[in-house]
Amino acid sequence: MMKRKIAAIMAADIAEYTRIVAEDEEEAIARLAIYRQVFDEFVLRAGGRVFNTSGDGVMCEFPSAVEATRCAIDIQESLRTHNLAYPPGRQMHFRIGIAIGDVVDRDGDLLGDGVNIAARLQGLAEPGSLCVARNVQEAIANKMSVSFRDLGRREVKNLPYPVHAFQIAVGGLGAKVGSRRIPGRWAVPSSARWLAAGMAIAAGGAGLYWLGRAEQARTPITVMALLPTPPEPGTGERAEALTPAQAYERLARAGGLLREPSTAAEFYHNARLFEARGESANARQAYLALAALGGEHIDPLLRLAALIRAQDGRAGAREVFAELAAGPSRAARAVHAQQFDGAERLRRIAALAEQEPRFGPIHALLAIEFGEDRQNTQTIEEKRRERAAIARFLAADREGELVPYFLDQSVLAQWLDRAQRRAETLAAYFTEQRDAVSAQFSRNNAGWLASIVAPEPATLLEYRIGDAREFQSTGFLQVADPRTGRPMPSPSFTFPPETGPTSIALRYADANGAPSPVTMLAFDPRMALARGLREQLERMPQAWLSFTGSAADLHVNYVQLVSYRCAIERVEIGFDGQEPMRQVTLPPCDPANPFVVPNAAAARLALRPEIRGVSLRLTFIGGEQSAVLRFARPD
């Protein structure tokens, strides 16, 4: 039997359980049974029930969000104490998610949105913590003394809508070591550390190893568990002589986790290894320890930001890097700026590039903001700004200024390769002058019509003729441009027929409203007239000649050629397949009245009755010739 109801659902599983089992299966399974017993006792005591289990995963139902949250906190605090008897790599930490939702009860099993959302929130939680949905946060905010961290709206797998998640700090979010808070770290009270030490001794030496490091009056920082030190490679180099990048490369070759990391290279080495092993919490701790050193290496900070975004969302990354950016590190400020969205991210990165032009990596980040990968539709102005930022980045490389900002030099090589390829692409684009505005001029009886062709969607078109001081708008059509969502500028403007040789300046505003450079065109009315009329002639060659009259009084008319004579230098005609050799005389061009056919002008030619067809060739002003066209006499 199935029935619907509203319930508070708690989902939990153990972080990195597969690895823990792989390392020592019997011990892990035995300890899971103990932890599950503790877990089930707390659930029962809170009035809940376990309705589904799968390996290390547990799904529970509670009558209220308050009871579910209290139970989750009790479970985490209890198991935290149990874990202190084990080294960090062997600890079992539950991740817990809680949601309120509509569920379907099918023979004791629950299905529905509440179950799905709780499971997704559990996936967002850090080991040893819990994440709750917004409706849970609202239900317990005034009933429990807990602190929330807003993770924002998170896209989660298999749900068509984002879930607004909050993290509840169990044991204190943000460890305090000495008097300085390390952002984003779970605190372990000092009493718990002493308890851990005692339990470790009793357990035969297993326990936590806490190390503080002081550098230039910095507060010591908690680092990771006691780990074996890798053997030193036999290079004969003294560590003091190595640059940080060389030190990191040497550690990468040696492999193995370091027991007492103290330098940026050592913390970065450990963090990368933790990431490779899927130990995101340890990786995050190592990255934060590196960041607290306040250095200018940007590649580890970018990896840290990506890790935090995956765990806590962009809002969580902004919070962590806001503290790091308060220090002197330009790299931290750059990565902090990257954690914002859209226009705000661009504004912050551009401002830092202006303030710190000698900080080479910022120009690569700025180029990405203007790049075609980031922009929905990259404007030409954005191409120009991307190109300028890339040029500054590559110039910094030529001057040897980039190497100190990268611990992993392979990352720098990737950045440089991408920048060089984009520089070549953009250079080709601008060399081909694909960014230029163009115009076509055509003449009618009222005067000149200029038709503007912008190289991209425009929100404004303007022109200036000759010595005029101000630009004039072409105006707007009564229709919105679907590419910009704004009124479409009129693509043409008119000017007087008597206008002589002059210059015409054109410019436009792109989809973002940014003004384009001014394009200068030389306007020669005679050449413009010839070019415009030729284009019209070439669009309708079938109208150049026509046959009229009867077989006894047959004529071929060329009135079209007379009308467009200002584009024609010579007309040649032939008969019955012969090469056009006979020249047809046209009236002289009158630039003031180019379309008027003089009264005395001849516009037709008499044909002998036996002629079956006519061939024609035009020579245009400037000397170019048309193909030979053949016109068959109608029957």
Query: Distance between CA atoms of 586 and 171, rounded to whole angstroms?
Result: 98
pLDDT level of residue 376 (50, 70, 90 thresholds): low
pLDDT level of residue 199 (50, 70, 90 thresholds): very low
Higher pLDDT, 244 or 214: 244
| Span 524-551, pLDDT tens digits | 999 999 999 999 899 999 999 999 888 7
Among 195-199, 284-288, 624-628, which stretch is predicted with the lowest mean pLDDT? 195-199
Query: Residue 3 forms beta bridges with which residues?
Result: 105
Pinpoint the residues of the chain covered by CATH 3.30.70.1230.
2-173
Encoded tokens for 104:
């379907």
DSSP-derived secondary structure for 600-629: T---EEE--TT--EEEEEEEETTS-BPPPE
pLDDT level of residue 216 (50, 70, 90 thresholds): very low
pLDDT level of residue 508 (50, 70, 90 thresholds): very high
What is the structure's pLDDT at 324? 95
Residue type, 549: G
Percent of the chain past pLDDT 70, that is, above it, reads 87
The highest-level CATH class for domain 438-523 is mainly beta
Among 16-30, 155-169, 580-594, which stretch is predicted with the lowest mean pLDDT? 155-169
CATH 2.60.60 fits 531-632, yes or no: no
**What's the mean pLDDT when you consider all of the chain?**
84
Whether the pLDDT of residue 192 is over 50: the answer is no
Whether the pLDDT of residue 456 is over 70: the answer is yes
- Report the SS3 class of residue 198: helix
Strands in 81-204 per DSSP E: 94-106, 109-111, 130-133, 148-154, 163-168, 176-177, 180-181
Q: Which of 51, 57, 56 is nearest to 106 (CA)?
A: 51
Query: Distance between CA atoms of 16 and 280, rounded to whole angstroms?
Result: 10
| Span 324-366, pLDDT tens digits | 999 999 999 999 999 998 889 999 999 999 999 999 999 999 9
What is the structure's pLDDT at 295? 92
Tell me which DSSP letter residue 478 carries. Answer: E
What is the structure's pLDDT at 373? 67
Q: Are 121 and 132 in contact (CB under 8 A)?
A: yes
Higher pLDDT, 279 or 400: 400
Query: Distance between CA atoms of 80 and 208, rounded to whole angstroms?
Result: 13
Q: Which of 107, 121, 95 is nearest to 8 (CA)?
A: 121
What is the structure's pLDDT at 180? 30
Mean pLDDT of 439-454: 91
What is the structure's pLDDT at 374? 60
| Span 497-507, pLDDT tens digits | 999 999 999 99
CB atoms under 10 Å from CB of 347, counted, come to 13
Whether the pLDDT of residue 185 is over 80: the answer is no
Q: Which of 454, 374, 390, 407 is nearest to 295 (CA)?
A: 407
Pinpoint the residues of the chain covered by CATH 2.60.40.10.
438-523
CATH architecture of 2-173: 2-Layer Sandwich (3.30)
What is the structure's pLDDT at 182? 32
Sequence-distant (≥ 6) Cβ neighbours of residue 366 within 8 angstroms = 349, 350, 353, 385, 389
pTM of the model: 0.55
514, burial (CB in 10 Å: exposed 0-12, middle 13-18, buried 19+): middle
Angle separating helix axes 330-338 and 361-370, nearest 10 degrees: 10
Q: Residues 516, 520, 525, 530: is their CA dihedral positive or negative? A: negative
